[in-house]
Amino acid sequence: MSGDVLQHTDLRQSRRFLETYSPPKINGEFAGKHIISVEQFDRRDLQILFDATGSIRRRIKQQDRGLLELAAGKLMATLFYEASTRTDLSFQAAMRHLGGEVVAASNGVHFSSVYKGENLADTIRAVGCYSDAIVLRHPDVGSSYEAAYYLDQLNKQIARQVIVISGGDGVGEHPTQALLDLFTIFDFKGQIDGLNITLVGDLRHGRTVHSLAKLIARYQAENVVLNLVSPPLLRMPETVVQYATAKGITVRETDDLYDVLPETDVIYWTRIQEERFDDPADYEAIKDRFIMTPPVLAQAPDDAILMHPLPRKHEMGTPDDHDALDADPRAVYFRQMENGMFVRMALLAKVLGGLWV
Amino acid sequence: MSGDVLQHTDLRQSRRFLETYSPPKINGEFAGKHIISVEQFDRRDLQILFDATGSIRRRIKQQDRGLLELAAGKLMATLFYEASTRTDLSFQAAMRHLGGEVVAASNGVHFSSVYKGENLADTIRAVGCYSDAIVLRHPDVGSSYEAAYYLDQLNKQIARQVIVISGGDGVGEHPTQALLDLFTIFDFKGQIDGLNITLVGDLRHGRTVHSLAKLIARYQAENVVLNLVSPPLLRMPETVVQYATAKGITVRETDDLYDVLPETDVIYWTRIQEERFDDPADYEAIKDRFIMTPPVLAQAPDDAILMHPLPRKHEMGTPDDHDALDADPRAVYFRQMENGMFVRMALLAKVLGGLWV
Amino acid sequence: MSGDVLQHTDLRQSRRFLETYSPPKINGEFAGKHIISVEQFDRRDLQILFDATGSIRRRIKQQDRGLLELAAGKLMATLFYEASTRTDLSFQAAMRHLGGEVVAASNGVHFSSVYKGENLADTIRAVGCYSDAIVLRHPDVGSSYEAAYYLDQLNKQIARQVIVISGGDGVGEHPTQALLDLFTIFDFKGQIDGLNITLVGDLRHGRTVHSLAKLIARYQAENVVLNLVSPPLLRMPETVVQYATAKGITVRETDDLYDVLPETDVIYWTRIQEERFDDPADYEAIKDRFIMTPPVLAQAPDDAILMHPLPRKHEMGTPDDHDALDADPRAVYFRQMENGMFVRMALLAKVLGGLWV
């Protein structure tokens, strides 16, 4: 080792914490628990969370200032090792609507240079010295597990309970995105049981669709059909498909949207990135079949909903297509985004709740 | 269209919203209205706003904590596509002094890379999903009009009233700067009617002086003389001169400050940038006549005031000149800057006021 | 002078304010005073501050929401001309735990481009127009003195009392770091009198150890032995050694840790940077003697404490060494960091206290 650069062999591997650290199951009790995986939740936990989300949304619309008591005196830090302005903003707005305070322990893209090579184990504890909850966004799979492990060590020393909430770790999980997606389905369709749900796009690399598929499975919904629509090259990983199938979900894989569109209740649209293809010709051959436009949506049932994790680009056509889609009552992606704040409010209130309130 | 880059022909043109979107007139009622142009205000609106500003300043000085109720539970987002630290800071401080919360949806210069090509129409709505008011700074003329249009669409869906306040759009308008400038004149001189007001510097490109000239006109002050002092190359645009003249203001254009300095009540000083001149010799020929120093100020009346939008550089000479000018009681630019926060507090309280309070 | 670039000869020299501006002595009364040097404090001031710090920590642990009244309605701005995420975060968290508000007037490394060459004298006053306290981090020695001088000028104009707190100025002082370090010693050892304190590492360039040594001297502790352990090239500046000696402290300088380790009560560890050495061979020759690992700590007394200003890197060995050290009850550096927030809370409450509370 020389100078200020740690050699690679000295670095802890975040990924190994995936094996050695077990995220705490919620089991109906959220207070003081890290939120780092959808695997922590079962159907009852999700129902508790969604009930709380609905209640919080109602109170926001009624301008109930009692909400400002739910996290008063609590401090949430955002620690983002890569930029994700929307996730950052959604968490910040959630915490502030609960009367809590927020400090930004990072500024996105420039973060790496700021801490000059300090490792995550130390940084997470440093931030933990000042805060009650830390929202962590990190490019390495397993980083939120590592953060949870080291916060557990810190908590013993400082006699407080600092928790970490994953804001996405690399190609791993993004649990709160899955929670808001499932809540949105529940919100518009009234239930999950019996639904025909279609995920479209790059299902191979899309963290969002992996987490959502897993969470639908964890909800143990009955009679759910999950359609997975992607180019052959970009199919859902087999592990996720097996996870869903093992929980009783009927999975159908296809590369033709029109096979499933007419009977779908929920369309979840995502982007396919050209750079995933080694040969540009492969991309050119399939891209037009993965663009949502008004004529495509016309073939969906009248009571279907069209979701998208946003931001969107050409996978919803031109700006004029955007405008036309936005005017369709089936397009719910902006309300889906708004729900993100409500779900995060419910989650923050619950995990922080056992401490001061 | 290929990859992640939208082709130029697909981009919406912010500028066309200038023609198609009509900013709502205030007409004595601020609640729920976007603030994107000085054209929304008339004399009565300005009097209401300035009364509120005076009241808020008094309450701040008296340390009246009731101010913290005026925006409690409200969330303001700052969305800056270009850096403007002072405007950002002034709005943030204003909102926080009203007990409201602030989230930064951007970090200035790096913003463009953060949203990876998402268009303004989507970004403004995404931010609107989480907030009650958005302060938008954007390099494109008309962008605040476009933002207002798309927020109107969003508001229908989410059954809330999210408003945008322009923090400056390109060479277009910067309405809150004009409001604080006019308030400062009113504050020190007690009225606008009958004043002799002198604007100095690059009047061609200066958004600040355009908006101020227009706002003086909208106030419909009587017997105002507006002196426009600039190099011939950098004269005020004819449209602005006509706008003022049509409202009864006497406009005098000159390139010699001493023509007007001895009888002026208000001196508004701005910088001339060398890069505006194709030929450096042209700049060299005029620059010394546009530097404010203690000997220049000595020729102004004893009860004149010297304003400047800040930051200042060589247009007020050396740091020693700065120190000497600062010690002159006629130099009011720091109090002008402080007034900026008070005006923005009054404006925020008023536009947010109809919702929760 | 031409264009937008001020020539060097026009720039004010921050350093000269070190001679011309006298930081106000605390003398038992903190309200409204700038905090820019450890020289402002004497033993009684430190005792007052440490009592308040202990009280605040107790109230935080008891979740006493009365703390949120201590800075309610007050606004603290952070103005960082260089990145220091921890100091920034610690001050922000401190202010928010007191119920006060925070605005960031800078974003670290990019700051210089943001204000486009405006000088410190103007920027500090601009920020002062909006805030009650400014935390200033700046690479130039004397910059906090210059800031204090110009805020005094502004305060006359705006009839308020805006104060500056130094967050570190170049190789000059970092007073709040010294305060938290001394508090931590006091906290774990119950007193300063009679202690054997060992500072290790690059004592020549380390601002942290200079300020701590001076503050120990200002506390006028009795029977203190101060061991200074460094390579000969990196010895503590003679001025600091004389300062301590003049106050009755016994100073011992050595390059061999084991000379002093067995009888030391407090070990303060810092990093040696390879780039300080002209000849890499010189660095190689000494570096192994300045790495703290479990076998080294094993030779310290059982009731010693191991401090570090953090972040740490190879000066505490490998990540595995970090883990082993962290598990040793003598390692107090994370609680030292947490104390930083408590000390800053006490300081902010006291300097702001005379105004609104």
- The residue ranking higher by pLDDT, C163 or A65, is C163
- What does the pLDDT read at residue A118? 81
- The answer to whether the Cβ–Cβ distance between A319 and B12 falls below 8 Å is yes
- The answer to whether the Cβ–Cβ distance between A114 and C85 falls below 8 Å is yes
Q: Out of A310, A319, A334, whose CB is closest to B157?
A: A334
Strands A305-307 and B75-80: unpaired
Specify the range with the lowest mean pLDDT, choosing from A199-203, A264-268, B204-208, C305-309.
B204-208
Is A309 an 8 Å CB contact of chain B? no
- What does the pLDDT read at residue C4? 35
- The answer to whether the Cβ–Cβ distance between B77 and A83 falls below 8 Å is no
- What does the pLDDT read at residue C8? 36
- What does the pLDDT read at residue B313? 86
Residue range(s) of every CATH 3.40.50.1370 domain in chain B: 22-174+341-353, 177-337
Contacts of B275 in chain C (CB under 8 A): 3
What subunits touch chain B, counting only 3 or more CB pairs under 8 A? A, C
Active site residues of B: 86-87, 116, 137, 174
CATH assignment of A13-174+341-353? 3.40.50.1370
Amino acid at A86: R
CA dist A183 and B202 (Å) reads 55
Is this structure's pTM higher than 0.90? yes
Percentage of residues in chain A having pLDDT higher than 70: 92
Contacts of B104 in chain C (CB under 8 A): 104
CA dist B14 and B18 (Å) reads 8
Contacts of C334 in chain A (CB under 8 A): 125-126, 129, 154, 157-158
- What does the pLDDT read at residue A40? 98
Fold of A175-337: Rossmann fold (3.40.50)
Q: What angle do CA C41, C42, C44 make, to 5 degrees?
A: 115
Helix boundaries (H) for chain A? 17-20, 43-61, 85-97, 111-114, 120-128, 143-158, 175-189, 207-218, 238-246, 280-286, 294-297, 319-326, 333-353
What average pLDDT does range C173-183 have in this prediction?
97
Contacts of C6 in chain B (CB under 8 A): 313-314
Contacts of A93 in chain B (CB under 8 A): 75, 77, 103, 130-131
Percentage of residues in chain C having pLDDT higher than 70: 92
- The answer to whether the Cβ–Cβ distance between A158 and C335 falls below 8 Å is yes
State yes or no: pLDDT of A7 exceeds 50: no
The complex's ipTM works out to 0.91
Q: What angle do CA C253, C258, C260 make, to 5 degrees?
A: 50
CA-nearest residue to B354 within chain A is A63
Residue range(s) of every CATH 3.40.50.1370 domain in chain A: 13-174+341-353, 175-337
- The answer to whether the Cβ–Cβ distance between A338 and B129 falls below 8 Å is yes
CATH 3.30.930.10 at B177-337, yes or no = no
State yes or no: pLDDT of C218 exceeds 70: yes
- What does the pLDDT read at residue B355? 36
What is the pLDDT confidence band of residue A1, given thresholds at 50, 70 and 90? very low
What subunits touch chain C, counting only 3 or more CB pairs under 8 A? A, B
Residues in Cβ contact with C161 at an 8 Å cutoff, skipping those fewer than 6 apart: C32, C132, C155, C355
- What does the pLDDT read at residue B104? 83
Tell me the pLDDT tens digit for each residue of A131-175: 999 999 998 999 999 999 999 999 999 988 999 999 999 888 999
Is A341 an 8 Å CB contact of chain B? yes
CA dist C211 and C203 (Å) reads 11
Separation in Å, CA of A158 to nearest CA in chain C: 7
Specify the range with the lowest mean pLDDT, choosing from A227-241, A290-304, C39-53, C82-96.
C82-96
What is the pLDDT confidence band of residue A116, given thresholds at 50, 70 and 90? low
pLDDT in tens, chain B (357 residues): 333 333 333 356 788 999 999 999 999 999 999 999 999 999 999 999 999 999 999 999 888 888 999 999 999 999 988 878 889 999 999 999 999 999 987 654 444 444 456 889 999 999 999 999 999 999 899 999 999 999 999 999 998 899 999 999 988 899 999 999 999 999 999 999 999 999 999 999 988 999 999 999 999 999 999 999 999 999 999 999 999 999 999 999 999 999 999 999 999 999 998 888 888 898 888 888 999 999 999 999 999 999 999 999 889 999 999 999 999 999 999 999 999 999 999 999 999 984 333
* DSSP3 helix / strand / coil % (chain C, rounded to 5): 50, 15, 35
Optimal mutation site among A57, A85, A88, A322, interface B, most CBs of chain B within 10 A: A85
Tell me the pLDDT tens digit for each residue of C189-208: 999 999 999 999 999 998 89
Q: Which of A97, A125, A174, A235 is catalytic?
A: A174
Q: Which of A57, A74, A125, A137 is catalytic?
A: A137
Is B109 an 8 Å CB contact of chain C? yes
Tell me the pLDDT tens digit for each residue of B246-264: 999 999 999 999 999 999 9
CA dist C100 and C352 (Å) reads 10
CA dist C45 and C35 (Å) reads 12
Helix axes C85-97, C175-189, angle to 10 degrees: 70
- The answer to whether the Cβ–Cβ distance between B89 and C356 falls below 8 Å is no
Mean confidence (pLDDT) of chain A: 90
Structure tokens at A244: 């869903």
Separation in Å, CA of A112 to nearest CA in chain C: 11
Return the CATH number of B22-174+341-353, one of 3.40.50.2000, 3.20.20.100, 3.40.50.1370, 3.40.1360.10: 3.40.50.1370
CA dist B296 and B304 (Å) reads 13
What is the pLDDT confidence band of residue A3, given thresholds at 50, 70 and 90? very low
- The residue ranking higher by pLDDT, B354 or C3, is B354
- The answer to whether the Cβ–Cβ distance between B274 and C1 falls below 8 Å is no
Helix (H) or strand (E) segment spanning residue B124: helix B120-128
- The answer to whether the Cβ–Cβ distance between C90 and A2 falls below 8 Å is no
DSSP 8-state symbol, C2: B
Is B312 an 8 Å CB contact of chain C? yes
What subunits touch chain A, counting only 3 or more CB pairs under 8 A? B, C
CA-nearest residue to C62 within chain A is A356
Is C159 an 8 Å CB contact of chain B? yes
Residue A86: active-site member: yes
Strands B133-138 and B163-169: parallel
Optimal mutation site among A75, A81, A129, interface C, most CBs of chain C within 10 A: A129
Residue range(s) of every CATH 3.40.50.1370 domain in chain C: 12-174+340-353, 175-337
- What does the pLDDT read at residue B145? 97
Q: Quick one: which of B8, B35, B30, B7 has its CA closest to B151? A: B35
Helix axes C43-61, C333-353, angle to 10 degrees: 110
- What does the pLDDT read at residue C117? 66
Optimal mutation site among B283, B321, B337, interface C, most CBs of chain C within 10 A: B337
Optimal mutation site among A56, A68, A92, A283, interface B, most CBs of chain B within 10 A: A92
Q: Out of A3, A131, A355, whose CB is closest to C93?
A: A131
CA-nearest residue to B76 within chain A is A93
Please give the class, per CATH, of domain C12-174+340-353: alpha beta
Tell me the pLDDT tens digit for each residue of A324-337: 999 999 999 999 99
CA dist B53 and B29 (Å) reads 16
Q: What angle do CA C209, C40, C137 make, to 5 degrees?
A: 60
What average pLDDT does range C18-23 have in this prediction?
95
Tell me the pLDDT tens digit for each residue of C284-337: 888 889 999 999 999 999 999 999 999 998 899 999 999 999 999 999 999 999
- What does the pLDDT read at residue C13? 79
**Cα–Cα distance list, B239 to B210, B229, B233 (Å):** 10, 17, 16
State yes or no: pLDDT of C270 exceeds 50: yes
- What does the pLDDT read at residue A8? 36
State yes or no: pLDDT of A354 exceeds 60: no
Is C75 an 8 Å CB contact of chain B? yes
CA dist B330 and A244 (Å) reads 75
Contacts of C10 in chain B (CB under 8 A): 318-319
Residues in Cβ contact with B15 at an 8 Å cutoff, skipping those fewer than 6 apart: B140, B141, B142
Strand partners, A137: A80
Tell me the pLDDT tens digit for each residue of B24-65: 999 999 999 999 999 999 999 999 999 999 999 999 988 888
Helix axes B238-246, B207-218, angle to 10 degrees: 20
- What does the pLDDT read at residue B111? 45
Active site residues of C: 86-87, 116, 137, 174
CA dist C50 and C183 (Å) reads 6
Residues within 8 A of B (CB atoms), A 213-252 only:
none
Structure tokens at B118: 């998402």
- What does the pLDDT read at residue C334? 97
State yes or no: pLDDT of A85 exceeds 90: no
CA-nearest residue to C109 within chain A is A114
- The residue ranking higher by pLDDT, A219 or A81, is A219
- What does the pLDDT read at residue C84? 83
- The answer to whether the Cβ–Cβ distance between B114 and A110 falls below 8 Å is no
Query: Taking the C-alpha atoms of A38, A41, A43 and A49 in order, what is their torsion angle to the nearest 10 degrees?
Result: -100
What average pLDDT does range A209-219 have in this prediction?
96
Contacts of B75 in chain A (CB under 8 A): 93, 96-97
- The answer to whether the Cβ–Cβ distance between A72 and C93 falls below 8 Å is no
Q: Out of A96, A318, A326, whose CB is closest to B75?
A: A96
